[in-house]
């Protein structure tokens, strides 16, 4: 699977929280050649199962459940932010509310599109001193309410309609003189990048020692609502969340995080929703060192991830996280590094193939 092409494909899918169907179908199609089993739960979470490889000394074929191998759940959310139509003005302009943490200042003049292909741009009321969502509208070019209502209904959701592009040419020398695979700008790197990392990890897996559930969760952006039922359903002893993390590599960053774009897979210590199990953090670091996978430390005093729901499942789960550092998170133009996505994928796969003793 090509990392950039897969990211671009997933970014072209419509998938705001609660409407993840298109992303789910595409991920299921991409995962199918490498999966033992694929199912969707009632919430809409996509669960891609890869059973533990039979032990070489096993005298008979193991059960489909992998002869009691420990269960490992990976989680990357596939939903995105959106803007939901609440009112259609006489003029044909659409008032909307936020689905997830959409910041008004990030969406001024943003191109958007609805599931049916209707496109628009985000405008502001003239008297708005500072952007506020309830003083903004989507202009789909309709001349009046009647025309707008033929195209869009109340409750329809718009998503960012910005392109997914490479920023730096592949192969160009990076800061350390090594070939840099380049950085990409795109909407919804949070968290299609995590979905790509999980797909690449699934593709890489040869001899997992865990029964692995690669879960592509729904409704993370509206409060991590998908991960909890997914954890309940897969009942893991071990969990790894793969999501984007905020970076600390821009002039205005205030050290709320520790990650840098291009610094490798970022091994989570905590975010505002979860404190990872120290054994998991240590194991991930040790594996990254052993396999020479570039890594860094992810401490984020802000934000939240599906890791919180996995960590608290049942009587507790050994949970860690592997993050993809992302600049301008939740804007229509997020930036990350292709090499970081690939490092995250390598680390997920390497963990699944390593026995842990806790
Ligand atoms: Zn996210």
Determine the Cα–Cα distance for residues 245 and 271; give it in Å rounded to an integer.
9
DSSP, residue by residue, 128-168: -SS--GGGEEEE-S-SSHHHHHHH--TT-EEEE----EESS
- Compute the mean pLDDT over every residue in the chain, rounded to the nearest whole number: 93
Give 257 Cα–ligand 1 centroid separation in angstroms: 15
What are the backbone angles phi and psi of residue 197, rounded to the nearest 5°? -60, -40
Q: pLDDT tens digit string along 9-63?
A: 999 999 999 999 999 999 999 999 999 999 999 999 999 999 999 865 554 444 4
Phi, psi of 41 (to 5 degrees): -90, 180
pTM (predicted TM-score): 0.94
* Ligand 1 centroid – CA 76 distance (Å): 8
Choosing from 220, 221, 334, 342, the catalytic residue is 220
Q: Report the range of poorest mean pLDDT among 182-191, 206-215, 246-255.
A: 246-255
* Coil, helix or strand at residue 101: coil
CA of 114 to the centre of ligand 1 (A): 21
Q: Classify residue 314 as exposed, middle or buried by CB count within 10 Å of its CB (0-12, 13-18, 19+).
A: exposed
Cα 303 to middle of ligand 1, angstroms: 9
Task: State yes or no: is 220 an active-site residue.
Answer: yes
Cα of 344 from ligand 1 centre, angstroms: 15
Ligand 1 centroid–CA 200 distance in Å is 18
Give the tens place of pLDDT for each residue, 116-168.
999 999 999 976 678 999 999 999 999 999 999 999 999 999 999 999 999 96
Domains and CATH numbers, the chain: 3-80+165-352 (3.40.630.10), 82-155 (2.40.30.40)
Tokens of 210: 């865990």
DSSP code, position 202: H
Q: Assign residue 311 a region: left if phi > 0, alpha if psi is -120 to 50, beta otherwise?
A: alpha
């Amino acid at each position: 699977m090509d990392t950039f092409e897969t990211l671009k494909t997933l970014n072209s899918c419509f998938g705001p929280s609660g409407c993840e169907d298109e992303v789910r179908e595409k991920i299921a199609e991409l995962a199918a050649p490498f999966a033992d089993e694929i199912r969707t739960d009632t919430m809409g979470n996509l669960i891609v199962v890869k059973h533990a490889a039979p032990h070489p000394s096993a005298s008979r074929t193991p059960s489909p459940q992998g002869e009691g191998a420990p269960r490992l759940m990976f989680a990357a959310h596939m939903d995105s932010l959106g803007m939901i139509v609440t009112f259609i003005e006489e003029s044909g302009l659409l008032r909307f509310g936020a689905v997830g943490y959409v910041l008004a200042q990030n969406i001024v003049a943003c191109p958007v599109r609805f599931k049916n292909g209707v496109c628009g741009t985000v405008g502001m009321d003239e008297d708005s001193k500072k952007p506020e969502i309830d003083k903004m509208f989507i202009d789909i070019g309709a001349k009046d309410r009647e025309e707008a209502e033929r195209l869009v209904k109340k409750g329809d959701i718009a998503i960012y309609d910005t392109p997914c592009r490479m920023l730096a040419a592949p192969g160009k020398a990076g800061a350390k003189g090594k070939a840099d695979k380049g950085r990409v700008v795109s909407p919804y790197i949070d968290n299609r990048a995590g979905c790509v990392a999980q797909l690449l990890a699934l593709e890489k897996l040869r001899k997992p020692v865990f029964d692995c559930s690669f879960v592509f969760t729904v409704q993370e952006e509206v409060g991590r609502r998908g991960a909890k039922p997914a954890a309940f359903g897969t009942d893991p002893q071990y969990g790894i969340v793969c999501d984007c993390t905020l970076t600390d590599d821009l002039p205005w960053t205030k050290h709320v995080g520790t990650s840098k774009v291009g610094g490798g897979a970022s091994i989570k210590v905590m975010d505002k929703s979860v404190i990872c199990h120290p054994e998991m953090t240590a194991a991930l670091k040790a594996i990254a060192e052993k396999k020479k996978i570039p890594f860094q430390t992810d401490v984020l005093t802000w934000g939240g991830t599906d890791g919180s729901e996995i960590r608290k499942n049942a009587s507790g789960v050994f949970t860690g996280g592997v993050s993809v550092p992302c600049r301008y998170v939740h804007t229509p133009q997020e930036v990350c590094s292709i090499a970081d996505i690939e490092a995250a994928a390598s680390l997920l796969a390497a963990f699944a193939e390593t026995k842990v003793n806790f």
